[in-house]
């Protein structure tokens, strides 16, 4: 089961993905009280960050401390988390304690209790872009947002990496894509969008 919380930070999405009495949280822009209301009595076995911009990680250490779990994100996210200029929080968010973090690189698989999470490093919107797949659901942050792609003009963003990420998403087998903002869509819809943007980026 997947439940979505829309935060007040640029309307970013937070997802609670449950399997039985366990769950993982994807991104951390919603206040802890709102997340607790959705989690209920379930055991949180991990927090996954799709990238290091403030609207997706603002409350992440609060989540980890409260639920007693680890945070999983790209190895390149650390630069964003500890630098307000990189995470675009206007000085309101800086992470200094990384004791609850597990940094990931490349691609691989996490076994978080009964929940299997596949991860893959992306890029284009930021250096810290990471997608996570749980069964048939793919969480891509701001790489692909509905009919749009994430901004390329922020620190670490660039056209070539975005094109490579879109190609990766086209080659990935999933049913539903969940983005960092807006609504979720099926693979057919997102493949069409990715193909259009790829043609534009390669001009």
Q: How far apart are CA 103 and CA 6, in angstroms?
A: 26
Contact between residue 51 and residue 126 where contact means Cβ atoms under 8 Å apart: yes
User: pLDDT class for 61, splitting at 50, 70, 90?
Assistant: very high
Q: How far apart are CA 36 and CA 83, in angstroms?
A: 28
What does the DSSP 8-state code read for residue 99?
Answer: T
Residue ranges per structural domain of the chain: 2-93+103-201
What's the CATH number of domain 2-93+103-201, 3.30.565.10, 3.90.79.10, 3.30.70.920, 3.60.15.10? 3.60.15.10
Q: How far apart are CA 170 and CA 31, in angstroms?
A: 33
Tell me the residue ranges of DSSP E strands in 68-180. Answer: 71-74, 101-104, 107-112, 115-121, 130-134, 137-141, 144-145, 148-149, 176-179
Q: What is the pLDDT of residues 82-118, one digit of tens each?
A: 999 999 999 999 999 999 999 999 999 999 999 999 9
pLDDT of residue 203: 83
pLDDT of residue 195: 96
CB-side exposure of 93: number of CA atoms within 13 Å?
Answer: 22
Nearest CA-CA partner of 71 in 52, 84, 85, 86: 52
pTM of the predicted model as reported, rounded to 2 decimal places:
0.97
Nearest CA-CA partner of 149 in 185, 178, 125: 125
Over residues 68-93, the mean pLDDT reads 97
pLDDT of residue 42: 98
Burial class (CB in 10 A: 0-12, 13-18, 19+), 114: exposed
């Amino acid at each position: 089961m997947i439940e979505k919380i829309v935060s007040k930070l640029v309307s970013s999405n937070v997802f609670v993905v449950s399997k039985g009495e366990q769950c993982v949280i994807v991104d951390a822009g919603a206040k802890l009280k709102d997340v607790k209301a959705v989690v209920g009595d379930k055991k949180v076995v991990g927090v996954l960050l799709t990238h290091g911009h403030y609207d997706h990680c603002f409350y992440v250490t609060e989540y980890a401390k409260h639920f007693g779990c680890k945070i999983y994100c790209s190895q390149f996210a650390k630069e964003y988390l500890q630098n307000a200029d990189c995470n675009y929080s206007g000085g309101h968010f800086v992470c200094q304690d990384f004791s609850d973090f597990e940094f990931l690189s490349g691609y691989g698989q996490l076994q978080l209790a009964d929940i299997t999470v596949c991860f893959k490093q992306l890029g284009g919107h930021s250096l810290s872009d990471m997608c996570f797949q749980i069964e048939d659901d793919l969480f891509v942050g701001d790489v692909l947002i509905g009919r749009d792609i994430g901004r390329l003009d922020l620190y670490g963003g660039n056209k070539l990496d975005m094109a490579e990420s879109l190609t990766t998403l086209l080659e990935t087998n999933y049913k539903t894509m969940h983005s960092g903002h807006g609504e979720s869509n099926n693979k057919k819809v997102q493949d069409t969008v990715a193909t259009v943007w790829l043609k534009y980026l390669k001009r």
